[in-house]
Amino acid sequence: MSDVPEDLHFTASHEWVRVNEDGSIVVGITDHAQEALGDLVYVETPEEGNHYSAGDACAVVESTKAASDIYCPISGVISEINDALVDAPELINEQPYGDGWIMSIQPDNADDVEELMDAEAYEDSLQE
């Protein structure tokens, strides 16, 4: 069974969102997603300063099995990327909710996070 932390928000496309105290959000892919992809070998992160709308493809993760787009969970500007993933994409496999985060976003509207699934709704979606 995949790990689904209670303090995060989730998308149907298996991204997770953590809200920071400063209002920015951190985004990564879920434990379920990294398990399905297998061993990650490459991560293409977005550029800092780029603006994305909710649902836009903004990053790519590649594994030995497949490549998968990462979608922006809410509209906003990329404020930081996880540079460690360039040399160590396996951090996503090892710590999907920790050192394996992909990017931070300064949201256009912080309330948009409330439109995402909570942990219980995400777990229910995995059962369907």
User: CATH 2.120.10.30: does it fit domain 9-106?
Assistant: no
Does the pTM surpass 0.75? The reply is yes
DSSP 124: H
pLDDT of residue 1: 54
Domain ranges of the chain: 9-106
Mean pLDDT of the chain: 95
CA torsion angle 123 54 90 92 (round to 10)? -40
- pLDDT digit string, tens, across residues 71-109: 999 999 999 999 999 999 999 999 999 999 999 999 999
